Structure 1
């Protein structure tokens, strides 16, 4: 297999962290976003939406979308389990992961892509007012997550799962480009969780 990825990009970082937690090693092919390689004819033939990551399977088929790639790898490498054992746990972990993806990760991306001048070439046209409103929504949802983590040690409950990976990568994305620090907003539970996540060896994967 071959994984098309981009160092420091948030979605590839999610897959890299997932792989690191499982000890998976796959051939990597870097895609330079700054040079527009994700928009090249050769890459668009792999993923017509021009997004990373993309996983080329041994039979030549291309699997895209971060969650789908992680699901495939979970099936191939079931231990340690990161997506749930049994229908009930899988459903609740997926719910938590989707919430992190939709209500933190995607909203941070919208805020950054429409509000950060460095992304003007990637998001053209930018809508700064929309970006600002998404930043406000991100901070509102981070406060909600702080409340969740006041009652349990991990995003989906009592153990580390893919939902923590998605949330951590979202928070680090926001930390770097939105200058968001949970402690600055009085979100002590979220800050403590983030600091615990940073101690995991997988936290440096994809950076």
Structure 2
């Protein structure tokens, strides 16, 4: 299998972290330069209607896109260590936590970065800095909620490390492009959680 990734982008990193936590081997990584728009012309990637990464190319030539779908496929191939839930109830609550992070932290922060950071202008034309600033403010509201949640439990989805922690960590790291550091924002629990994940 081949995993198509790019440097610094949060979604490919989510899959890379998932693979690392699983201890999986044998998946070849192919680096794609999205700033040079390689993802739009690459034969494997252009098969997706949106030509985004990451993409996992299976041994039979089919391509699987979307970070969470790729992770679900890999979890099915290698169920342990489990990162997405062992039964229907746990899977539902882990997915809920992961979706909360995706929709209310990752998405607005990605929009904030794409519309405010000059280095992303090549991918986002036109940029709307005011929209980006509004999305950053929305993400901060959710990050304060997440900080409160982490004051009462060790991990994003509860008592153990899951895919929700991977999603949140990759988002927080990507937000460094906005000079965001949880500790400097008064989010002590989030900062401590971030350091625990980084130590992994």
TM-score w.r.t. length of structure 2 = 0.96
Match of 1:195 in 2: 195
Q: CA deviation at 1:107?
A: 1.0
Provide the rounded CA distance (Å) in 2 between the counterparts of 1:122 and 1:45.
16
Residues 1-207 of structure 1: matches in 2 within 5 Å? 1-25=1-25, 26-40=27-41, 42-175=43-176, 177-200=177-200
Provide the rounded CA distance (Å) in 1 between the counterparts of 2:193 and 2:47.
37
Tell me if the contact between 2:121 and 2:127 (Cα under 8 Å) persists in the aligned partners.
Answer: yes
Q: CA deviation at 1:153?
A: 0.3
Deviations 1:38-95 (A, max 9, x none): 1215355332312110011111111000000000000001010000011110000000
SS at match of 1:121: coil
Provide the rounded CA distance (Å) in 2 between the counterparts of 1:29 and 1:191.
32
Tell me if the contact between 1:37 and 1:43 (Cα under 8 Å) persists in the aligned partners.
Answer: no
Runs of 4+ in 1 over 6 A off after TM superposition: none
Structure 2: runs of 5 or more not aligned: none
Provide the rounded CA distance (Å) in 2 between the counterparts of 1:190 and 1:41.
38
- Between 1 and 2, higher relative CO (CA 8 Å, sep ≥ 6) is seen in 1
Q: CA deviation at 1:111?
A: 0.2
Q: CA deviation at 1:33?
A: 1.3
Provide the rounded CA distance (Å) in 2 between the counterparts of 1:196 and 1:95.
22
What is the root-mean-square deviation of aligned Cα atoms in Å?
A: 1.1
Deviations 1:7-37 (A, max 9, x none): 2211000000000000112011111112210
Q: CA 1:41–1:57 in structure 2 vs 1: closer, same or farther (change >3 Å)?
A: closer
